[in-house]
């Protein structure tokens, strides 16, 4: 069984986000990395392969040509091959990504499609759900544990939900999106970074996949969150309770 993992290039989680002066988006002229939830999804795919339940892990990324670097990172972590879909129109919204993923699935025919639960740049948390809908595949979102049964062709997915854990049994092929606690992704070692340079990355244009990139939404403006007010020192418990009651209105 083949596993396809969608990995997105985003502003590195440690970078302080700056809104562009014209408020059309955030400054992306900064350190970029693989979306942390995608790293977790890829780690899970590699573990499934290492346990003998998959034969190949393929990483796919869509966007400008820098996405190839993100794919190389995925190949250095241990993925076997990469697929790059070159898209110039930015931003690329989840519905377009989902249509492109559906087209790649038709070519690659994977038994499992793994994604991050959300991209930390747009925080959409939509792509996994949309692509599952387009494919008509079962979905296990926010997975905190995944176990495959090769014989029965099922995946048991544990999800952290309000007030407890939900366990789902999905027939394969299926879509699974990774939550933070699913695993701890590995670092790429130097020999694997070298090996990754010779792994194959195939490139497609959306037109070759018969997908038209268009959007029915337009961001009006992006603004920074309001600055936090400085804290105050209170001299007594009574004063604290008074402030909580009358200023913060939390009591
Ligand atoms: P989102 O719905 O935008 O929060 O993204 C959820 C997940 O969809 C990400 O963690 C990726 O696995 C996948 N994804 C979204 N955009 C892209 C992209 N441009 N290239 C590859 N994967 C993507």
pLDDT digit string, tens, across residues 206-241: 999 999 998 888 889 999 888 888 888 999 999 999
Q: What pLDDT, on a 0 to 100 scale, did the predictor assign at position 229?
A: 83
Class of domain 2-223: alpha beta
147 Cα: distance to centroid of ligand 1 (angstroms):
23
Q: Ligand 1 pocket, 122 CB below 6 A?
A: yes
Ligand 1 atom with least separation from CA of 114: 12
**pLDDT for 235:** 94
Q: What is the Å distance from ligand 1's center to 233 Cα?
A: 44
What integer pLDDT is reported at residue 225 of this predicted model?
85
CA of 38 relative to ligand 1 center, distance in Å: 8
Tell the residue nearest (CA) to atom 14 of ligand 1. Answer: 8
What Rg value do the Cα atoms of the chain yield, rounded? Answer: 21
Can you say whether the dihedral through the CA atoms of 236, 242, 244, 250 is positive or negative?
A: positive
Which H or E run includes 129?
helix 127-135
Low-confidence stretches of the chain (pLDDT beneath 70):
none
- Looking at residue 125, what is its pLDDT? 96
Q: Is the CB of 5 under 6 A from ligand 1?
A: no
Domain range list for the chain: 2-223
pLDDT at 147: 96
Q: Report how far residue 53's alpha carbon sits from residue 120's, in angstroms, rounded to the nearest whole number.
A: 29
Determine the distance separating the centroid of ligand 1 and the alpha carbon of 93, expressed in angstroms.
9
Instruction: Write out the DSSP string of 50-87.
Output: HTTS-SEEEEEEEESTTHHHHHHHHHHHT-SEEEEEE-
Predicted pLDDT at 210: 96
Is residue 4 helix, strand or coil?
strand
Instruction: Evaluate if pTM is beyond 0.85.
Output: yes
Which pLDDT score, from 0 to 100, does residue 26 have? 86
At residue 52's C-alpha, the angle toward residues 46 and 55, to 5°, is 70
Q: Which pLDDT does position 176 carry in this prediction? A: 98
Please work out whether the CB of residue 36 comes within 6 Å of at least one atom of ligand 1.
no
């Amino acid at each position: 069984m083949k596993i396809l993992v969608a990995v997105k290039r985003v502003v590195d989680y440690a970078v302080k986000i700056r809104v562009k002066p014209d408020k059309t988006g955030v400054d992306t002229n900064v350190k970029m990395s693989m979306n942390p939830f995608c790293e977790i999804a890829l780690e899970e795919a590699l573990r499934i392969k290492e346990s003998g339940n998959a034969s190949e892990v393929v990483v796919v990324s869509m966007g400008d040509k820098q996405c190839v670097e993100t794919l190389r990172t995925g190949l250095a972590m241990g993925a076997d091959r990469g697929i790059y879909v070159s898209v110039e129109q930015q931003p690329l919204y989840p519905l377009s990504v989902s249509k492109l993923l559906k087209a790649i699935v038709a070519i690659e025919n994977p038994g499992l499609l793994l994604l991050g639960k959300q991209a930390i740049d747009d925080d959409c948390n939509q792509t996994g759900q949309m692509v599952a809908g387009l494919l008509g595949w079962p979905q296990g979102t926010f997975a905190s544990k995944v176990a495959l049964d090769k014989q029965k062709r099922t995946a048991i997915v544990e999800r952290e939900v309000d007030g407890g854990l939900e366990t789902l049994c999905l027939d394969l092929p299926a879509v699974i999106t990774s939550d933070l606690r699913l695993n701890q992704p590995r670092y790429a070692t130097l020999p694997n970074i070298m090996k990754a340079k010779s792994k194959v990355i195939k490139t497609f244009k959306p037109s070759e996949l018969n997908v038209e990139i268009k959007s029915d939404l337009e961001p009006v403006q992006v603004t920074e969150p309001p600055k936090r007010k400085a804290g105050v020192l209170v001299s007594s418990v009574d004063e604290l309770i008074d402030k909580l009651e009358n200023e913060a209105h939390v009591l």
